[in-house]
Amino acid sequence: MRYLCLLYLSEETFPAPGTPEFGEAVTANVAATKAMADAGVLVDSAPLHRVSSATTVQVRNGETLLTDGPFAELKEQLGGYYLLECADLDEALRWAQTIPAARVGSVEVRPVMNVEGRD
């Protein structure tokens, strides 16, 4: 079964690119990603640009509304994701604990629905 691990972090406290702390965070994420890939559970993973680059799309009564930024005002922002193929939730949770974001923010683990007719 596939599980999506959503990484939530505060952009205010996350290290800025180019700082030694940012380099350490990147190194830790690369190590976690490699361990998941080596174990054969990693399907995909990527960081996201800051929320200031987001655009929210809504369609209401046939009219498209575009808003700069995320839909919700949150203390922590969605910063990236891991898509894992695991035997069960327990295995997915074990891998989620290895993601560095879990130490400074949170990792939401959600099963991905298997929709009939999709690969």
| Domain membership of residue 34 as a residue range | 2-48+76-111
Q: Is residue 53 part of a domain?
A: no
Q: What does the pLDDT read at residue 6?
A: 96
Residue 96 covered by a domain: yes
Residue 100 resides in a domain: yes
With respect to residue 16, please indicate whether it lies within any of the assigned structural domains. Answer: yes
Domain membership of residue 12 (yes or no) is yes
pLDDT in tens, 12-51: 888 888 999 999 999 999 999 999 999 999 999 999 988 8
CATH number for the domain including 16?
3.30.70.1060
Give the total number of structural domains in the chain: 1
In a domain, 95, yes or no: yes
Question: What is the pTM (predicted TM-score) of this model?
Answer: 0.86
The tens digit of pLDDT for each residue in 68-108 reads 877 666 678 889 999 999 999 999 999 999 999 999 899 99
Q: Is residue 55 part of a domain?
A: no
Q: What are phi and psi of 98, to 5 degrees?
A: -85, -10
CA distance 62 to 64: 7
| In-domain check, residue 23 | yes
